[in-house]
Structure 1
């Protein structure tokens, strides 16, 4: 008695065609920020070595932030008793307000340390609660194997408090460049200008940049008025 063997199942022609195209194309590359050495997908249970590396990285970042904050506080302490009653302002007919400082940018589970400069140019409108002005922003952050550059501009609203602290919020748009990729990005942020020295404020700011790899950037530095010529 002959045993009949069923023929081997084959996918329909249109499915086989797509499978061959996928094999030829290979895996899809990461579109942007691939040189930041993005981590591989993790399993639910991390190995002890990976956990130790993550802990060491976060502790290193935490120590950098604490060291920078301690240095700023040490410099500010002697002048605290003589600090002016109100922060220095700018962005009007007489002066612009320049901000300079260090930044810590977290993106794709990596953290880069860098530098940022921003300028409040002028006021578009002003009322009892505050004023709206035009601001420009330039930043550089160095990661392992890559540098992220941001160039943005937009609007900043500074609240009037009649005290030693001036809070503000801002919305910026611009470009982010990294790894031969340049993307259009929006950003929202908020910060504080605190009266420190004559014509010098202490500034802290937190902003979020929305892109293929969303980023959070913490700014720690100073702001000071620059007279118009």
Structure 2
């Protein structure tokens, strides 16, 4: 997204430079402006009605250019931070191809609660029924940061509470507890809002698919 903003800013800058080069002051403009100072209605102090002159039009054009420049600055300035669920730069110890994901819960009342009812499951196998009690590797909550190193695109279809469905599953892990333990498992794609490419898991690293035919 940053690359798209930079490209848009570059195009706008080129158009602004082109527009600036084409603006020329009409011959005799300043003389006409000075002449209008004494042009008033006879017997009154009220100037006669007049169409906007070239000076007014130039001022309006300059204001429009200032607005566009301000918009360009907004496009190229760095964002204050990622939105909930948006991927971020990988941490220093995550490995070269890893991506940091943030867990996303579509149920707003649960986003501030770390209760069992508001937890989301990390599965052991993306090809096994997600609700299977034996397919639970651990729990996470909205906003948790997980390190994803690869993804499968043909896993179980999972549909969230808003009707969004996906067969993408991310192989993730995160630190758990203070003893150096790690939670490892698979996060359904509907439980994040990733915007960064994650490499597809090699065939020899994918879990067993024997449980994928269950209902």
Q: Give your verdict on TM over 0.5.
A: no
Tell me which protein shows more strand as a share of its residues.
1
Normalised to the residue count of structure 1, the TM-score between the two structures is 0.23
TM-score, normalised on structure 2? 0.24
